[in-house]
Structures are given as structure tokens and as C-alpha cells.
Amino acid sequence: MTFLPAVFLVLILLLIGVAGFFSASETVVTSVSRAQLHNRRNDVRAIVLRTLQENLGLTLSSILVGNQLISQSVTAVATWLAIEFLGESFLPITAFLFSLFIIVYVEILPKLVAIQNPVHYALSSAPLLTIFCKVLHPVTRFLESVARASLRLVGIKVLSTGHPPCSDDELRGAIDLHATGGAEEEQERLMMKSILDLNEVSIGQVMVHRKKLEMIEVCASTREMIEKILACPYSRIPLWQGNRENIVGVLHVKTLFRALQKAASNPKKNVDPVALASPPWFVPESTTLFDQLQAFRARHGHFALVVDEYGALMGAITLEDILEEIVGEIVDEHDVTATGISTQSDQSVVVEGEILIRDLNRQFNWDLPEEEAATIAGLVMHHTRKIPDIGQVCTIPGYAVEVLKRQQNRICLLRVSPQKNAQSKR
């Protein structure tokens, strides 16, 4: 009789070990992401694990069925041993202690161990788990059908039980977790999030406005052209004829200077800037930065003119403008130093009206709305529904914006104060 309890005790320990295996597998199969498996494309175990995740409903059902079968078997054997050797009077205490034992050593402990290195444990357990899922496939398929039918009775339809795809919010969360300290990691975080934003930001929000656009009239003299080209930092300049809305071409300064060099050796040869210019490329202002970047790559272009829904010229977009949205401001030896933003001692910021809202948000980590207008002046007019007077304060959720200077219908200068300063001001 002394041999039999030892056999049953060893059997209980083995069953608890198998139940712990299933409990840990349930955790790691759902916690390992597709991105982690993608980096192990040459590992057969990763392929097996990916198959389990693609049929996540059946996999979890198999794990739960196996866990329940083993747990019930362990409970039955333990109950029999308690009654046989301790008597029925000790059964409640024995059941309570054994339940605690199951919770700690079958549910909690295996999960804590597996979660320390989920990828390694998931890859190691995937082959054995696959075999078990195939053995229990008929049972789990039947149970899953019953569960689906029960959900349909209450109006819930389960379309898929595969591993959920990696969402945009999950990517952004992973990027935020990546930057845990240091200026370099913060810059990497901003760049990666900017790449995700390319499909949400239109070129109308980042373009060079037509008021800042350097353009040359086709009838201008060669001297005037050269003086304007040397005075501006751009290498591609639109040519207009009749009125500034009528763009007839885009002149590259290198092309012009090559033609002037050839004309210098042949005085009889005239330089026609229109003939040297490339045809203008017009794009709608609603185009996203991602689509425009793809268009630049397809056309091997660097410069496009932006028009609104009525075909009116709004400004220009360059490849550098899009790249700056990802990596930040790119300043070379010919760029004009940007001005128009000044931080005050009271933590308010004085800005010119034409400053882009996106630039303010990125520089000061603000959350001014970017969907309503491109510039801070446009945002104020959107909220006031009119052209505000000097001294008028516009309240935007979280901020107060005061008009400091105005010229006719144009807002030239504003003071932006965060909420704490706005509350004391009102």
C-alpha cells in the first residue's frame, strides 16, 4: 500500500508540470508579436508559431481544453488520496490548500517564468504545442463551433480568431517606449513618428506659400534674372507671364547659367528662359506627403506647384520640404536663417502669423489643432470667424492667442500663451 501513494504522487507532479506548460504557452503565444517573429524568418519554429497564431482561436481552445482535462484529473486524484489517507473530515482543508497550490504552481509561477523570455519559450514550446493541437483538433473544433453558435444567439458574430494585426496605435506606442532617454533617442522617436504622419499630413500644411515664393517674369532682363537668382536660396524658380498666377515653366539655375556661358562665346545667340524651363507640375493641396513623396520618386522630380480645388496657385512643395518633416530642419549655406518665433520670460511665445502650426507643435511640444488651418494666423481666424482686431484674445483649448500686430487684412504678429498663462490673463 505504501508504493501506491508514491505512484499517484509522482503522477500528480507530472500532471501539474504539463498543466504548467499549457498555462505558460497560453501567455507567450498571445504576447509574442508578429514583428518579433518576422526577424526569425529562417527559424522553422517561428514558422510553426506563426501558424499557431494565425489559428489563435483553435490554439487557445486546445490549450484550455488540455489544461482543464489535466487540472480535473489532478483534482480527482488528489481528492481520492486525501479521502483514502486523511479521511473525509480533512477534505475541505485539503481542497483549499490544493487549490492554492494549483493557483501558484500551475497558473502564476509558469506564467512568471515564461514571460521573462517569451520569444524563447514560445519558440521552444511551439512544436510540442502543435502536436497537441492536432490531437485535440476535433474536440476543439466542436467546442469552438458551440461557442460561436452561442455568441450568434446574442447577436455577436466572430469574424476572425487570428492574431490581431499590428495597428498604427501599437506602432506609435512602441516608438514612444523606444525613446527612454537621451537626445539621440528622442530624435529617433520624432523621426519615426513623422514617418507615420506622412499619410495624414497634406502638402498644403507644409508648402512654401505663394507670398514667399520667388518667381521671375519671363520678360525680365538677363541682369534682373541673375540678380533675383543670386538673392534667393532656391535652385528652381517658377517663371510667370502676364500675371503671377500664369506659371509657364520652372527654371533651374544651373540650366540658365550653362546657357549664359554658351551665349557668352556666341554673342548672336539669345537666351530664352522659357525654352530652358521645364513644364510646370501642378499638384492639389490635398495630396498627402506620402503620396507626393512617391510621386517625386516616380517622376525623378524635386519641385511641384500647389493649387487649390479651383486651380489657383497656393504655393510650392519640394522634396526637401517633405524630408524636413521627417528629419527636422535642414539648413545649408544658402538658406536664410528662419525668424519669427521668440520665447518670452513669462513662457509665452511671440510668433509671426505665417508660422506653421506644425512647426510650433514640434518645437514646443504643443498640441494646437492642425486640421483647421496651416498657420497660426489661419487658426485664429478659424476660431474667431473674422479678422480679429489688435489686442483681441482668441481662446483655443489649452492656449490663449493675442493679436499683437495687423496690416489691413493680414495678421502679422501674435502672442501664444499656454493655458496656465491664459487663465491668469483673462
Neighbouring C-beta atoms of residue 140, cutoff 10 Å? 22
The span from the CA of 298 to the CA of 305, in Å, is: 17
The span from the CA of 62 to the CA of 204, in Å, is: 53
Give the per-residue pLDDT at 268.
Answer: 62
The sign of the CA dihedral 269, 271, 274, 276 is: positive
What the block records as the C-alpha cell of 389 is 482686431
What's the chain's Rg over C-alpha atoms? 35
> Residue 78 contacts by C-beta under 8 Å, 6 or more apart in sequence?
12, 94, 98
Give the per-residue pLDDT at 162.
Answer: 53
Cα(first)–Cα(last) distance of the chain, in Å? 89
What the block records as the C-alpha cell of 25 is 504557452
Question: Which conformational region is residue 160 in: left (phi greater than 0), alpha (psi within -120 to 50 degrees), or beta?
Answer: beta
The sign of the CA dihedral 190, 191, 197, 202 is: positive
**For 9-65, what is each residue's pLDDT tens digit?**
787 788 888 888 888 888 888 888 777 777 777 788 888 888 888 888 788 888 888
Helix (H, G, I), strand (E, B) or coil at 394: strand
What is the residue extent of each domain of the chain? 3-153, 168-197, 203-327, 341-425
List the one residue out of 311, 319, 302, 249 whose CA is nearest residue 283.
311
Give the per-residue pLDDT at 414.
Answer: 93
Burial class (CB in 10 A: 0-12, 13-18, 19+), 210: middle
Neighbouring C-beta atoms of residue 25, cutoff 10 Å? 28
pTM: 0.60
Q: For domain 203-327, is the CATH number 3.30.1330.10?
A: no
Residue ranges for the chain with pLDDT beneath 50 = 1, 336-337, 421-426
Give the per-residue pLDDT at 423.
Answer: 41
Q: What is the CATH number of domain 341-425?
A: 3.30.465.10
Decide if 203-327 and 341-425 have a common fold: no
Instruction: Render 158-215 in DSSP notation, one character per residue.
Output: ----SPPP--HHHHHHHHHHH--SSHHHHHHHHHHHHHHHTTT-BGGGTSEETTT---
Q: Which amino acid is at 187?
A: Q
What the block records as the C-alpha cell of 289 is 506627403
Question: Which conformational region is residue 80 in: left (phi greater than 0), alpha (psi within -120 to 50 degrees), or beta?
Answer: alpha
Give the per-residue pLDDT at 339.
Answer: 61
Burial class (CB in 10 A: 0-12, 13-18, 19+), 355: buried
List the one residue out of 306, 312, 318, 303 whose CA is nearest residue 251.
303
**For 73-108, what is each residue's pLDDT tens digit?**
877 777 777 777 777 777 778 778 878 888 888 888
Burial class (CB in 10 A: 0-12, 13-18, 19+), 387: middle
- Given the C-alpha cell 497560453, which residue does it identify? 26
What the block records as the C-alpha cell of 133 is 493541437
Give the per-residue pLDDT at 216.
Answer: 92
Give the per-residue pLDDT at 212.
Answer: 82
The span from the CA of 261 to the CA of 167, in Å, is: 56
Q: In what order do the strands lie in the sheet with 208-209?
A: 208-209, 313-318, 303-307, 282-284
